[in-house]
Amino acid sequence: MTRPLILAIEGPPGAGKTTLLGALVPALADRGLFFPEPNIKTARSACPRTTSASETLWYLRQEKRRAFALRRADGTVQSTDPLATTQVVVCDRNHLGVLAYTWAARRSDGFPYDEAVAYYQRYIVPLYAETDLRTVILQVSVDTSLERRGGSPRHPRWWQWYDRGLLRRLADFYTDKAPALCPEPPLVIQTDPFTPETVLSLVTSELSTYGVVVPAAPPAVPLNSAVDDRFGEHHAALGGTATLGEPITAAFAYRGGLMQIFQLASLFRFDDRTRMWDPYQVLESDTADLLDHRLMGAPS
Q: What is the pLDDT of residue 148?
A: 93
297 — pLDDT class (breaks 50, 70, 90): very low
Average pLDDT over residues 232-252: 90
Label each residue of 139-153 as H, E or C: ECCHHHHHHHCCCCC
Q: How confident is the model at residue 73 (pLDDT cuts 50, 70, 90)?
A: low
Evaluate whether 216 touches 237 at the Cβ level (below 8 Å).
Answer: no
**This model's pTM is above 0.85:** yes
- Residue range 99-115: average pLDDT? 93
At 93 the pLDDT is: 95
> For the residues 157-173, what does the mean pLDDT come to?
93
pLDDT class of 296 with cuts at 50, 70, 90: very low
Give 285's pLDDT tier (boundaries 50, 70, 90): low
Q: Residue 6 — pLDDT band, cuts 50, 70, 90?
A: very high
Confidence category of residue 286, pLDDT binned at 50, 70, 90: very low
pLDDT (0 to 100) of residue 288:
40
pLDDT at 84 over 60: yes
Task: Determine the pLDDT at residue 94.
Answer: 94
What pLDDT score was predicted for residue 49? 56
Q: Is the pLDDT of residue 81 over 90?
A: no
Pick the CATH number of 5-217 from 3.40.50.970, 3.40.50.300, 3.30.70.20, 3.90.1150.10: 3.40.50.300
DSSP string for residues in the chain: -BPPEEEEEE-STTSSHHHHHHHHHHHHGGGEEEEPPP-GGG-TTTS----HHHHHHHHHHHHHHHHHHH--TTSB--TTSGGGG-SEEEEE--HHHHHHHHHHH--TTSPPHHHHHHHIIIIIGGGGTTS-EEEEEEE--HHHHHHHTTSS-SSGGGGGGG-HHHHHHHHHHHHHTGGGGSSSPPEEEE-TT--HHHHHHHHHHHHHTTT----PPPPPPPTTPPPPHHHHHHHHHTTTHHHH--B-S--EEETTEEEEEBSS-EEEEETTEEEE--THHHHTGGGHHHHHHHHHSS--
pLDDT at 176: 97
* Parallel, antiparallel or unpaired: strands 266-270 and 133-139: unpaired
Confidence at 67, pLDDT banded by 50, 70, 90: very high
Residue 213's pLDDT is 92
Using one digit for the tens of pLDDT, what is the confidence trace for 20-52? 999 999 999 999 999 999 988 777 545 555 688
Q: Flag whether pLDDT at 87 surpasses 70.
A: yes
